[in-house]
Amino acid sequence: MDVERVRRIFSSMTLRMLLPLALLATPLAAQDEAPVEIEEPETTLVVIETTMGDITVALETERAPITAANFLRYADEDRFDGTIFYRAMHLDWGEPPNGLLQGGTQNNPDRIVDGIAHEPTSETGLSHTNGALSMARLDPGTATGDFSIMIKDQTGLDAQPDSDDPNMQLGYAVFGYVVDGMDVVLAIHASPRDPELGEGWMKGQMLADPVEIVDVRRVETVQ
């Protein structure tokens, strides 16, 4: 008898016998490795109604609770109603449009409340990516009722713990993201600016005709 031929037949039979066992074992192994469900961080939807259209944002109430709660307070108490988007910063690098849009209370003493504790991105895990909402401030802990919306990624505004600049070590506080109406943000950002308005390095960044924020309100959810 051809010994090599017998060996090949035996090997083939063994493989056919083992293959179904392997296939049967696969579903059992998969059952032991059930997928882990990852819960999304809690957010609250808010509409910023402007004379140029609506902007819907998701506030990071779980990851940036202090800053998000501050924005919600201003919204719930109508402190934003009748304020404006007044500043459109355009950056001359990267693909346009590039920069940020700023609006809010403009430090109006009749509208603002006390400044809030700073929540750096190094602690919240958030970042100044396209559409991010970030609090305007002077020193950390002075943010009140003015905020910016990022046009393109502006991650240089994130906390930079290794920076030699104490101010940039903490960066700025992201507290939400635009989820609808980014076209409205871009349209406002593209509005004409007055080259004579603004002070210092902000000169020329102010909108010639600021856009009114008519109302800022929570999105009603269906129970």
At residue 221, the pLDDT reads 73
At residue 204, the pLDDT reads 95
At residue 50, the pLDDT reads 98
Cβ-count burial of 199 within 10 angstroms (0-12 exposed, 13-18 middle, 19+ buried)? exposed
For residue 57, the number of C-alpha atoms closer than 13 Å in the C-beta half-sphere is 29
At residue 39, the pLDDT reads 87
Long-range Cβ contacts of 116-119 (<8 Å, 24+ apart): 116/66, 116/67, 116/70, 116/141, 116/143, 116/144, 117/66, 117/141, 118/143, 118/170, 118/173, 119/64, 119/65, 119/66, 119/67, 119/173, 119/175
Total length of the chain: 223
**C-beta neighbour count of 116 within 10 angstroms:** 20
At residue 34, the pLDDT reads 66
Q: Return the SS3 of 87.
A: strand
Mean pLDDT by 10 residues, the chain (223 residues): 45 42 46 72 98 98 98 98 98 94 97 98 98 96 98 97 93 98 98 95 96 96 61
The alpha carbon of 189 is separated from its chain's Cα centroid by a whole number of angstroms, namely 18
CATH number for domain 44-218, candidates 3.20.20.100, 3.30.365.10, 2.40.100.10, 1.10.287.110: 2.40.100.10
CB 78 within 8 A of CB 183: no
Cα dihedral sign for 221, 65, 80, 47? negative
- Give the span between the Cα atoms of 146 and 135, in whole angstroms: 6
